[in-house]
Amino acid sequence: MTIYSGPVFEMAATQFGVIADYLAIPEDVRPRILMPKRAVTVSCPIHRDDGSIAVFEGYRVQHHLTLGPTKGGTRFAPSVDIGEVAALAVWMSWKCALAGLPYGGAKGGICVDPSALSNREREALSRRYMQEMIPFVGPHTDVMAPDMGTDEQVMAWFMDTYSMYQGKTVAEIVTGKPVRAGGTLGRREATGRGVAYLTRRVMNDLQLRISGATAVVQGFGNVGSIAALELYNDGVKVIAVSDHTGALYRAAGLDIPDLITHAAKHGSLAGYSSELACDPAEILTLPCDVVIPAARERVIDADVADRLRCRIVAEGANGPTTPDADLVLARRQNEIFLIPDILCNSGGVVVSYFEWVQDLQQLFWEEEEVVRRQYQILDRAFDQMVVRARRDRVFNRTAAMAIGVERVRDAKHTRGLFP
């Protein structure tokens, strides 16, 4: 039992156990690599619009400092607790190490339903959270970014609150900011763009025709909607999408640009069409070429994994597949190619890294350079995963995580016990 105990941290620990066995990491070294270096819980009081005071609980978990500052998003969601945040921080570590970024993993969040807040309340909560975090973060300590329920505007409030305290602009304290406030071109699109890029790469490797292929996308936030749009622009028929309000299905392919316009105007897919509505629980198992879970953790369990009827699973979300489902997918790996989360959605943190570098240097890149360098890093990580999976005849997730874990292990071994 630890303060992190709960289903999501158990899942991260189980996955780590598989990798540690495969890498033959001695028992006494394992907690050193898995357990977060530090975690903080804060209370964030705000004035509600009706004049009352509400207090929200916020967290930040910094997994390790072995390779540089910690890096990771901040989530505003009702499901957030310290165990989920810790698991997400651990996954960020393997993700950053696999991409070769000079970071450890972190994650933070507030247990709140952001759709129940007015814009003023959201600003007050964002600012208060960052204010509470000031002693624990810094451009060379821990750098935040967006995640579920947060966006560029929240990052701008975080940056502004930290900067007020410092008495100067410190753009490099967070990434995922609006371009007009020190952000980088290509960050908003980066995660979805990376998901689509790797999906196309696997489709080419499997000799699947891209134009006319079919895809299902679960989640229509920043990751799902951009991935769907990129694929739509390549001629892929996105036959089903869903968000927390419901799902839509159209065998001939949905009009993704139109759906994005609707979601931007109304905040969700709700109200788009009652004719196209379908059961959200069923979309992952529709027959199609590509399934993209881009919403929450643990949506593909062993039963769903058994019933998948696709060629590629491209994990846009963090932790969408349970360890039990991994056993099924490993057995089915000749039928279904898995692009594991720590690779598939790493385009976001890769471009966050570019944003941090640009802010530190005050030298800004063209979007074309951002995208070119992003794809270069994704290709390198993908190649390393495939080579490793073939060499050791292991599942893609095992290969990808092992590369990340061993980089952290080796750096810790070389440095000592501090980080």
Position 19 contacts ligand GLU (CB under 6 A): no
Position 72 contacts ligand GLU (CB under 6 A): yes
The token duo for 282 is: 């069923």
Q: Which of 145, 308, 310, 328 binds ligand GLU (CB under 6 A)?
A: 145
Binding range to ligand GLU, per CB under 6 A, among 162-170, 259-267, 344-352, 383-391? 344-352
What CA–CA distance (Å, rounded) separates 85 from 60? 7
Classified as helix, coil or strand, 241 is strand
Position 348 contacts ligand GLU (CB under 6 A): yes
Position 147 contacts ligand GLU (CB under 6 A): yes
The token duo for 402 is: 């092992």
What CA–CA distance (Å, rounded) separates 156 from 99? 26
Shortest distance (Å) from residue 76 CB to ligand GLU? 12
Q: Across the beta sheet with 290-293, what order do the strands follow?
A: 277-278, 246-249, 237-243, 214-218, 290-293, 312-314, 337-339
**Active site (annotated) includes residue 107:** yes
Q: Any idea what the Cα angle at residue 84 is, between residues 78 and 88, rounded to 5°?
A: 120
Beta bridge partners of 110: 58, 76
Binding range to ligand GLU, per CB under 6 A, among 244-252, 257-265, 271-279, 343-351? 343-351
User: By rule CB under 6 A, what string of x and - marks binding of each residue 160-199 to ligand GLU?
Assistant: ---------------xx-----------------------
* Nearer Cβ to ligand GLU (209/380): 380
- Start-to-end CA distance of the chain, whole Å, equals 23
Binding range to ligand GLU, per CB under 6 A, among 21-29, 201-209, 236-244, 341-349? 341-349
Neighbours of 151 (CB within 10 A): 17
Position 242 contacts ligand GLU (CB under 6 A): no
* Nearer Cβ to ligand GLU (249/356): 356
Tokens 């028929």, residue? 237
Q: Which of 60, 63, 64, 71 binds ligand GLU (CB under 6 A)?
A: 71
Q: Any idea what the Cα angle at residue 350 is, between residues 235 and 379, rounded to 5°?
A: 55
* Nearer Cβ to ligand GLU (353/395): 353
Q: How far is CA 369 from CA 68, 198, 223, 333, in A?
A: 24, 18, 21, 35
Give the nearest residue (CB) to ligand GLU.
73
Beta bridge partners of 111: 77
Q: How many residues bind ligand GLU (CB under 6 A)?
A: 12
Shortest distance (Å) from residue 19 CB to ligand GLU? 19
Catalytic residue IDs? 107
Binding site for ligand GLU (CB under 6 A): 71-73, 145, 147, 175-176, 318, 345, 348-349, 352
